[in-house]
Amino acid sequence: MSTNPTHWTKVDNYFTDLLTPADPVLTAALQDSEAAGLPAINVAPNQGKLLHLLAQLQGAHRILEIGTLGGYSTIWLARALPADGHLLTLEYSPKHAEVAAANLTRAGLDKITEIRTGPALDSLATLHAESPAPFDLVFIDADKANNPHYVEWSLKLTRPGSLIIVDNVVRGGEVTNPKSDDPSIRGTRAALELIASHPKLDGTAVQTVGTKGYDGFALARVLD
Ligand code: SAH
Ligand code: DHB
Ligand code: MG
């Protein structure tokens, strides 16, 4: 057992080399994101693969992602969809959305994915007004301060049996601080409390270590 980040990275690299072999499309997505100056805050490869497997296990036809960045997690998720599936991803930054659009096109996923640019709270209100078919999976990975709102919107846009995933719920352990005045921590704590208390949600949270440091994610299933 080790609490040494060097060991986390070594083990992550071992898992990743073995289980998520080099993929030119994903590598190019990260390279072009970096070249465009986007921060390297995408999920790790083995986390992307986990999202992919969860979407497949879910039998997802429709996926909603909040927080696109350069589309790295988007590619993992969209690759789990059938040919007639659809993934909608919401991104505040036009620059990030532009990089993501090119990455999704190179991945051959532009026909089944849509990027909407703007503050996600606005996009979610617009989306809800369109009465879309329910989403089978929601991946929440944008501004953490709005996490409780994103969980609330997810409830309105899903069905019983849908899966809601919230990224970055640990943030180095600060999530346990009830007095934190960091809006990201407050938002994450509020989202976890909502998952814990909402009659239509059944969830858990898991800590992770690896190439992206020490963090974690929450999973919640939408109930009847
Ligand atoms: N899911 C991506 C990482 C997303 S990083 C991956 O794992 O590959 C978080 C993204 O959320 C950034 O691109 C940021 O611009 C975006 N974001 C921040 N605030 C937002 C908001 N209010 N609405 C929509 N997107 C937002
Ligand atoms: C940050 C955001 C993320 O979504 C992530 O996975 C890691 C870090 C951040 O804002 O620092
Ligand atoms: Mg994240």
Which protein residue has the closest C-alpha to ligand 1 atom 13? 69
Q: What is the pTM of this model?
A: 0.98
Burial 176-210 (b: 16+ CB within 10 A, else e): eeeeeeeebbbbbbbbbebbeebeebebebeebbb
Residue 172 pLDDT: 84
Of the chain, the percentage scoring pLDDT greater than 70 comes to 99
Show Cβ contacts of residue 33 under 8 Å, excluding neighbours closer than 6 positions.
Answer: 40, 42, 69, 70, 72, 99, 103
Tokens of 120: 């996600």
Q: Domain 5-222 class?
A: alpha beta
pLDDT > 90? residue 5: no
Taking 70 as the threshold, does the pLDDT of residue 168 lie above it? yes
How confident is the model over 125-163, as pLDDT tens digits?
999 999 999 999 999 999 999 999 999 999 999 999 999
Quick: pLDDT tens for 181-202: 999 999 999 999 999 999 999 9
Q: Do the beta carbons of residue 30 and residue 38 sit within 8 Å?
A: no
Separation between Cα atoms, residue 133 and residue 122, nearest integer Å = 19
Q: What's the CA gap between 206 and 70, in Å, rounded?
A: 25
Domain regions of the chain by residue span: 5-222
* Residues having CB within 6 Å of any atom of ligand 2: 41, 141, 167-168
Q: Which ligand is nearest to the CA of 65?
A: 1
